[in-house]
Amino acid sequence: MAASCSLVCFRFSNGSVNNADKLDFTMYKSADEKNPRKKSRRMMVAETNRLSYVGSNFGAGSLKCNNLCKYYVGVLNKQTMQMELHSAQLFNMQPVIPGETTNAAKPPDTSKTYRDKVDSLIEAFGTNKQKRALSSRRLNQVGSDTLQQAVAKAASTVIDQKGLEALQQEVAETEAQGDLALHLPPCNADADKPENVYPFDDLLSPVEFEALEKAGSKLAALTPEELQKMKDEGGCQSVVKRLENMPTVGDARDNTARCAYYLSLLLKLARQKSITRKCELQNMVSTSMRAKLAAYSLALLLHMGHMTADLTLLHRDLGITEARMTEIAKSMGLTLSRPARGKDDEAGQRDEHRHASLVLPLVKYDQFMERRKRKKMH
Protein backbone atom coordinates (compact mmCIF):
# COMPACT_ATOMS: atom_id res chain seq x y z
CA MET A 1 0.00 0.00 0.00
CA ALA A 2 1.13 3.58 -0.68
CA ALA A 3 2.61 5.54 2.20
CA SER A 4 3.64 9.11 2.98
CA CYS A 5 6.95 10.18 4.45
CA SER A 6 8.25 13.51 5.71
CA LEU A 7 11.73 13.50 4.18
CA VAL A 8 13.56 10.93 2.07
CA CYS A 9 17.09 11.06 0.64
CA PHE A 10 18.01 9.26 -2.58
CA ARG A 11 21.21 7.96 -4.09
CA PHE A 12 21.00 6.73 -7.67
CA SER A 13 23.47 3.92 -8.33
CA ASN A 14 24.02 4.67 -12.03
CA GLY A 15 24.63 8.42 -11.79
CA SER A 16 23.00 11.69 -10.82
CA VAL A 17 19.62 12.93 -12.02
CA ASN A 18 19.66 16.10 -14.10
CA ASN A 19 15.91 16.77 -14.15
CA ALA A 20 14.50 15.68 -10.82
CA ASP A 21 11.19 17.41 -11.57
CA LYS A 22 10.44 14.81 -14.26
CA LEU A 23 10.59 11.94 -11.75
CA ASP A 24 7.37 10.55 -10.27
CA PHE A 25 8.03 9.27 -6.75
CA THR A 26 5.82 6.84 -4.84
CA MET A 27 6.50 5.32 -1.43
CA TYR A 28 5.01 2.02 -0.29
CA LYS A 29 4.91 0.54 3.17
CA SER A 30 4.25 -2.94 4.44
CA ALA A 31 0.59 -3.74 4.97
CA ASP A 32 1.48 -6.06 7.86
CA GLU A 33 1.68 -3.43 10.61
CA LYS A 34 1.17 -5.99 13.39
CA ASN A 35 4.48 -7.68 12.63
CA PRO A 36 7.20 -5.65 14.39
CA ARG A 37 9.82 -6.75 11.85
CA LYS A 38 7.79 -5.75 8.80
CA LYS A 39 5.86 -2.64 9.85
CA SER A 40 8.87 -0.37 9.30
CA ARG A 41 9.61 -1.66 5.80
CA ARG A 42 9.45 0.97 3.08
CA MET A 43 9.90 0.83 -0.69
CA MET A 44 10.50 3.88 -2.89
CA VAL A 45 9.73 3.88 -6.64
CA ALA A 46 10.88 6.60 -9.06
CA GLU A 47 9.43 6.42 -12.57
CA THR A 48 10.49 8.19 -15.75
CA ASN A 49 9.48 7.86 -19.40
CA ARG A 50 12.46 5.61 -20.09
CA LEU A 51 13.33 3.75 -16.90
CA SER A 52 12.12 2.97 -13.40
CA TYR A 53 14.17 2.98 -10.18
CA VAL A 54 13.39 1.04 -7.02
CA GLY A 55 14.94 1.32 -3.58
CA SER A 56 14.01 -0.22 -0.22
CA ASN A 57 15.15 -0.13 3.39
CA PHE A 58 15.15 -3.93 3.68
CA GLY A 59 16.63 -6.83 1.81
CA ALA A 60 19.98 -7.31 0.13
CA GLY A 61 19.90 -4.01 -1.80
CA SER A 62 19.19 -1.79 1.23
CA LEU A 63 21.77 0.50 2.85
CA LYS A 64 23.11 -0.85 6.13
CA CYS A 65 23.81 2.66 7.40
CA ASN A 66 20.10 3.14 8.16
CA ASN A 67 20.41 0.48 10.89
CA LEU A 68 23.64 1.87 12.38
CA CYS A 69 22.65 5.51 12.83
CA LYS A 70 19.84 8.01 12.35
CA TYR A 71 19.81 10.73 9.73
CA TYR A 72 18.28 14.16 10.02
CA VAL A 73 17.71 16.91 7.49
CA GLY A 74 17.70 20.56 8.53
CA VAL A 75 15.17 22.87 6.88
CA LEU A 76 15.64 26.62 7.31
CA ASN A 77 12.46 28.62 7.83
CA LYS A 78 13.23 31.93 6.11
CA GLN A 79 10.44 33.76 7.93
CA THR A 80 11.49 32.83 11.46
CA MET A 81 15.12 32.14 10.52
CA GLN A 82 15.01 28.97 12.61
CA MET A 83 16.27 25.54 11.62
CA GLU A 84 13.82 22.65 11.81
CA LEU A 85 15.14 19.08 12.05
CA HIS A 86 13.32 16.20 10.33
CA SER A 87 14.15 12.52 10.47
CA ALA A 88 15.12 11.01 7.12
CA GLN A 89 16.00 7.70 5.49
CA LEU A 90 18.49 6.91 2.77
CA PHE A 91 17.43 4.86 -0.25
CA ASN A 92 19.78 3.39 -2.84
CA MET A 93 17.80 3.63 -6.09
CA GLN A 94 18.57 0.79 -8.49
CA PRO A 95 17.39 0.77 -12.14
CA VAL A 96 14.84 -1.93 -12.95
CA ILE A 97 14.89 -3.44 -16.44
CA PRO A 98 11.74 -5.40 -17.40
CA GLY A 99 12.44 -9.08 -17.96
CA GLU A 100 15.80 -9.04 -16.16
CA THR A 101 16.21 -11.18 -13.05
CA THR A 102 18.68 -10.40 -10.30
CA ASN A 103 19.18 -13.84 -8.84
CA ALA A 104 20.52 -16.74 -10.87
CA ALA A 105 18.14 -19.64 -11.07
CA LYS A 106 19.16 -22.65 -9.05
CA PRO A 107 19.11 -26.04 -10.72
CA PRO A 108 16.01 -27.95 -9.69
CA ASP A 109 16.29 -30.91 -7.37
CA THR A 110 14.78 -33.72 -9.41
CA SER A 111 15.07 -36.24 -6.62
CA LYS A 112 12.64 -34.51 -4.25
CA THR A 113 10.43 -31.46 -4.62
CA TYR A 114 10.40 -28.55 -2.22
CA ARG A 115 6.91 -29.44 -1.04
CA ASP A 116 8.03 -32.98 -0.27
CA LYS A 117 10.97 -31.66 1.77
CA VAL A 118 8.71 -29.34 3.76
CA ASP A 119 6.23 -32.16 4.38
CA SER A 120 9.05 -34.35 5.67
CA LEU A 121 10.13 -31.63 8.11
CA ILE A 122 6.56 -31.19 9.31
CA GLU A 123 6.18 -34.92 9.88
CA ALA A 124 9.40 -35.01 11.90
CA PHE A 125 9.42 -31.70 13.82
CA GLY A 126 6.05 -29.99 13.12
CA THR A 127 3.47 -29.03 15.70
CA ASN A 128 0.18 -30.86 16.08
CA LYS A 129 -1.59 -28.05 14.18
CA GLN A 130 0.85 -28.31 11.25
CA LYS A 131 0.49 -32.08 11.16
CA ARG A 132 -3.32 -31.83 11.06
CA ALA A 133 -3.06 -29.32 8.20
CA LEU A 134 -0.72 -31.67 6.32
CA SER A 135 -3.11 -34.58 6.75
CA SER A 136 -6.06 -32.47 5.55
CA ARG A 137 -4.14 -31.31 2.47
CA ARG A 138 -3.26 -34.88 1.54
CA LEU A 139 -6.89 -35.92 1.84
CA ASN A 140 -7.86 -33.04 -0.44
CA GLN A 141 -5.21 -34.19 -2.92
CA VAL A 142 -6.79 -37.63 -2.98
CA GLY A 143 -10.16 -35.98 -3.68
CA SER A 144 -8.60 -33.92 -6.48
CA ASP A 145 -7.18 -37.06 -8.09
CA THR A 146 -10.61 -38.66 -7.91
CA LEU A 147 -12.12 -35.59 -9.57
CA GLN A 148 -9.56 -35.72 -12.39
CA GLN A 149 -10.39 -39.35 -13.00
CA ALA A 150 -14.09 -38.48 -13.17
CA VAL A 151 -13.41 -35.66 -15.65
CA ALA A 152 -11.31 -37.98 -17.81
CA LYS A 153 -14.10 -40.55 -17.80
CA ALA A 154 -16.66 -37.89 -18.77
CA ALA A 155 -14.43 -36.65 -21.60
CA SER A 156 -14.08 -40.19 -22.88
CA THR A 157 -17.87 -40.57 -22.85
CA VAL A 158 -18.31 -37.32 -24.87
CA ILE A 159 -15.73 -38.49 -27.41
CA ASP A 160 -17.55 -41.79 -27.80
CA GLN A 161 -20.88 -40.03 -28.31
CA LYS A 162 -19.84 -37.22 -30.69
CA GLY A 163 -16.84 -38.78 -32.30
CA LEU A 164 -13.25 -37.55 -32.37
CA GLU A 165 -13.52 -35.93 -35.80
CA ALA A 166 -16.55 -33.84 -34.80
CA LEU A 167 -14.77 -32.59 -31.70
CA GLN A 168 -11.67 -31.75 -33.72
CA GLN A 169 -13.84 -29.76 -36.12
CA GLU A 170 -15.35 -27.78 -33.23
CA VAL A 171 -11.89 -27.05 -31.84
CA ALA A 172 -10.62 -26.01 -35.29
CA GLU A 173 -13.56 -23.63 -35.78
CA THR A 174 -13.02 -22.12 -32.33
CA GLU A 175 -9.32 -21.61 -32.97
CA ALA A 176 -10.05 -20.14 -36.40
CA GLN A 177 -12.45 -17.62 -34.86
CA GLY A 178 -9.78 -16.67 -32.32
CA ASP A 179 -7.20 -16.18 -35.08
CA LEU A 180 -9.59 -14.00 -37.09
CA ALA A 181 -10.12 -11.62 -34.19
CA LEU A 182 -6.40 -10.82 -34.24
CA HIS A 183 -6.20 -9.38 -37.74
CA LEU A 184 -9.66 -8.73 -39.20
CA PRO A 185 -10.99 -5.15 -39.29
CA PRO A 186 -14.35 -4.49 -37.57
CA CYS A 187 -16.97 -6.47 -39.45
CA ASN A 188 -20.75 -6.04 -39.66
CA ALA A 189 -21.81 -9.37 -41.12
CA ASP A 190 -25.52 -8.39 -40.97
CA ALA A 191 -25.08 -5.29 -43.14
CA ASP A 192 -27.60 -4.70 -45.93
CA LYS A 193 -25.00 -3.26 -48.33
CA PRO A 194 -21.52 -4.61 -49.22
CA GLU A 195 -19.84 -1.27 -48.41
CA ASN A 196 -21.22 -1.45 -44.85
CA VAL A 197 -19.70 -4.85 -44.03
CA TYR A 198 -16.27 -3.32 -43.38
CA PRO A 199 -17.16 0.34 -42.73
CA PHE A 200 -14.81 2.85 -44.29
CA ASP A 201 -14.64 4.99 -41.14
CA ASP A 202 -13.28 2.00 -39.20
CA LEU A 203 -10.45 1.68 -41.74
CA LEU A 204 -9.66 5.37 -42.06
CA SER A 205 -11.18 7.76 -39.53
CA PRO A 206 -12.56 11.15 -40.69
CA VAL A 207 -9.73 12.96 -38.87
CA GLU A 208 -7.09 10.85 -40.61
CA PHE A 209 -8.86 11.24 -43.93
CA GLU A 210 -8.77 15.03 -43.64
CA ALA A 211 -5.08 14.94 -42.74
CA LEU A 212 -4.32 13.17 -46.06
CA GLU A 213 -5.57 16.07 -48.21
CA LYS A 214 -2.12 17.49 -49.04
CA ALA A 215 -0.47 14.11 -49.66
CA GLY A 216 -3.41 12.92 -51.76
CA SER A 217 -3.34 16.03 -53.94
CA LYS A 218 0.28 15.30 -54.88
CA LEU A 219 -0.65 11.78 -56.03
CA ALA A 220 -3.63 13.09 -57.95
CA ALA A 221 -1.32 15.48 -59.83
CA LEU A 222 0.99 12.72 -61.14
CA THR A 223 1.23 12.50 -64.93
CA PRO A 224 0.95 9.20 -66.88
CA GLU A 225 4.72 9.34 -67.44
CA GLU A 226 5.38 9.66 -63.71
CA LEU A 227 3.03 6.76 -62.98
CA GLN A 228 4.85 4.61 -65.53
CA LYS A 229 8.18 5.54 -63.93
CA MET A 230 6.81 4.58 -60.51
CA LYS A 231 5.66 1.27 -61.97
CA ASP A 232 9.03 0.58 -63.63
CA GLU A 233 10.95 1.37 -60.43
CA GLY A 234 9.10 -1.32 -58.49
CA GLY A 235 6.52 0.82 -56.71
CA CYS A 236 3.45 -0.69 -55.10
CA GLN A 237 1.52 -2.11 -58.03
CA SER A 238 -1.81 -1.99 -56.19
CA VAL A 239 -1.37 1.74 -55.63
CA VAL A 240 -0.25 2.38 -59.22
CA LYS A 241 -3.24 0.48 -60.60
CA ARG A 242 -5.69 2.53 -58.55
CA LEU A 243 -3.99 5.79 -59.59
CA GLU A 244 -4.16 4.77 -63.25
CA ASN A 245 -7.90 4.17 -62.98
CA MET A 246 -8.81 7.21 -60.91
CA PRO A 247 -11.84 9.30 -61.81
CA THR A 248 -10.88 12.30 -63.89
CA VAL A 249 -12.40 15.07 -61.77
CA GLY A 250 -14.45 15.73 -58.66
CA ASP A 251 -14.45 14.49 -55.08
CA ALA A 252 -14.16 10.87 -56.23
CA ARG A 253 -10.69 11.57 -57.64
CA ASP A 254 -9.59 13.33 -54.45
CA ASN A 255 -10.93 10.50 -52.24
CA THR A 256 -9.18 7.84 -54.35
CA ALA A 257 -5.88 9.74 -54.17
CA ARG A 258 -6.06 10.01 -50.38
CA CYS A 259 -6.88 6.33 -50.00
CA ALA A 260 -4.05 5.41 -52.36
CA TYR A 261 -1.55 7.34 -50.28
CA TYR A 262 -2.78 5.71 -47.06
CA LEU A 263 -2.63 2.30 -48.76
CA SER A 264 1.00 2.94 -49.73
CA LEU A 265 1.81 3.61 -46.06
CA LEU A 266 0.22 0.31 -45.00
CA LEU A 267 2.10 -1.64 -47.66
CA LYS A 268 5.40 0.04 -46.76
CA LEU A 269 4.88 -0.81 -43.09
CA ALA A 270 4.09 -4.44 -43.91
CA ARG A 271 7.36 -4.82 -45.85
CA GLN A 272 9.49 -3.59 -42.93
CA LYS A 273 11.02 -5.98 -40.44
CA SER A 274 10.98 -3.55 -37.52
CA ILE A 275 9.58 -0.16 -36.54
CA THR A 276 11.73 2.45 -34.79
CA ARG A 277 9.83 4.38 -32.16
CA LYS A 278 10.56 6.98 -29.49
CA CYS A 279 13.88 6.69 -27.67
CA GLU A 280 15.21 4.55 -30.53
CA LEU A 281 13.24 1.48 -29.40
CA GLN A 282 12.55 -1.02 -32.16
CA ASN A 283 9.42 -3.16 -32.40
CA MET A 284 9.44 -6.18 -34.69
CA VAL A 285 6.65 -6.46 -37.27
CA SER A 286 5.26 -9.85 -36.27
CA THR A 287 3.44 -12.30 -38.50
CA SER A 288 0.10 -11.47 -36.87
CA MET A 289 0.71 -7.74 -37.38
CA ARG A 290 1.57 -8.34 -41.04
CA ALA A 291 -1.67 -10.33 -41.43
CA LYS A 292 -3.61 -7.46 -39.84
CA LEU A 293 -2.03 -4.98 -42.26
CA ALA A 294 -2.95 -7.28 -45.15
CA ALA A 295 -6.59 -7.48 -44.02
CA TYR A 296 -6.90 -3.71 -43.63
CA SER A 297 -5.23 -3.13 -46.99
CA LEU A 298 -7.60 -5.58 -48.66
CA ALA A 299 -10.65 -3.94 -47.06
CA LEU A 300 -9.45 -0.52 -48.21
CA LEU A 301 -8.90 -1.81 -51.76
CA LEU A 302 -12.47 -3.15 -51.79
CA HIS A 303 -13.81 0.34 -51.12
CA MET A 304 -11.54 1.79 -53.80
CA GLY A 305 -12.45 -0.78 -56.46
CA HIS A 306 -16.24 -1.14 -56.17
CA MET A 307 -15.93 -4.07 -53.74
CA THR A 308 -13.38 -5.96 -55.88
CA ALA A 309 -9.63 -6.23 -55.32
CA ASP A 310 -6.67 -7.87 -57.08
CA LEU A 311 -5.20 -10.38 -54.61
CA THR A 312 -2.18 -11.18 -56.80
CA LEU A 313 -0.91 -7.61 -56.87
CA LEU A 314 -1.66 -7.15 -53.18
CA HIS A 315 0.22 -10.20 -51.95
CA ARG A 316 3.24 -9.16 -54.03
CA ASP A 317 3.16 -5.66 -52.54
CA LEU A 318 2.83 -7.06 -49.02
CA GLY A 319 5.64 -9.57 -49.46
CA ILE A 320 3.53 -12.55 -48.35
CA THR A 321 2.64 -15.75 -50.16
CA GLU A 322 -0.46 -16.08 -52.33
CA ALA A 323 -1.70 -18.88 -50.08
CA ARG A 324 -1.54 -16.62 -47.03
CA MET A 325 -3.31 -13.84 -48.92
CA THR A 326 -6.02 -16.25 -50.01
CA GLU A 327 -6.46 -17.45 -46.43
CA ILE A 328 -6.97 -13.87 -45.23
CA ALA A 329 -9.49 -13.19 -48.00
CA LYS A 330 -11.42 -16.34 -47.06
CA SER A 331 -11.41 -15.35 -43.39
CA MET A 332 -13.06 -12.07 -44.46
CA GLY A 333 -15.82 -14.00 -46.23
CA LEU A 334 -14.89 -12.78 -49.70
CA THR A 335 -15.72 -14.52 -52.98
CA LEU A 336 -12.60 -15.63 -54.90
CA SER A 337 -12.43 -15.78 -58.66
CA ARG A 338 -10.17 -15.75 -61.71
CA PRO A 339 -11.04 -14.13 -65.04
CA ALA A 340 -12.87 -16.47 -67.39
CA ARG A 341 -10.97 -18.05 -70.27
CA GLY A 342 -11.24 -15.91 -73.42
CA LYS A 343 -10.23 -16.06 -77.06
CA ASP A 344 -6.73 -14.78 -76.36
CA ASP A 345 -5.91 -17.56 -73.88
CA GLU A 346 -4.26 -19.72 -76.53
CA ALA A 347 -1.86 -16.91 -77.31
CA GLY A 348 -0.70 -16.92 -73.67
CA GLN A 349 -2.33 -13.62 -72.77
CA ARG A 350 -4.66 -14.94 -70.09
CA ASP A 351 -4.80 -12.85 -66.87
CA GLU A 352 -3.73 -15.23 -64.10
CA HIS A 353 -4.47 -12.73 -61.34
CA ARG A 354 -6.83 -13.86 -58.61
CA HIS A 355 -9.51 -11.42 -57.51
CA ALA A 356 -11.64 -11.15 -54.38
CA SER A 357 -15.10 -9.60 -54.26
CA LEU A 358 -17.40 -8.78 -51.37
CA VAL A 359 -20.80 -10.26 -52.17
CA LEU A 360 -23.67 -10.61 -49.71
CA PRO A 361 -24.19 -12.91 -47.99
CA LEU A 362 -20.58 -13.49 -46.97
CA VAL A 363 -19.04 -16.84 -47.85
CA LYS A 364 -18.42 -19.14 -44.89
CA TYR A 365 -15.52 -21.44 -45.70
CA ASP A 366 -14.93 -24.76 -43.96
CA GLN A 367 -11.88 -24.02 -41.81
CA PHE A 368 -11.51 -27.63 -40.72
CA MET A 369 -11.32 -28.95 -44.29
CA GLU A 370 -8.83 -26.24 -45.24
CA ARG A 371 -6.50 -27.33 -42.45
CA ARG A 372 -6.87 -30.99 -43.43
CA LYS A 373 -5.81 -30.11 -47.00
CA ARG A 374 -2.73 -28.21 -45.81
CA LYS A 375 -1.67 -31.12 -43.59
CA LYS A 376 -1.95 -33.55 -46.50
CA MET A 377 0.18 -31.27 -48.66
CA HIS A 378 2.94 -31.31 -46.03
Q: Among residues 163, 153, 149, 9, which one has the least CA distance to residue 86?
A: 9
pLDDT tens string 141-179: 877 777 788 888 877 887 777 777 666 666 655 555 555
Bridge partners for 44 per DSSP: 27, 55
pLDDT of residue 75: 87
pLDDT of residue 104: 45
Rounded distance between C-alpha atoms, residue 230 and residue 244, angstroms: 11
Inter-CA distances, 113 with 116, 117, 120, 141, Å = 5, 6, 11, 16
pLDDT tens string 294-345: 999 999 999 999 999 999 999 999 999 999 999 999 999 999 998 666 555 5
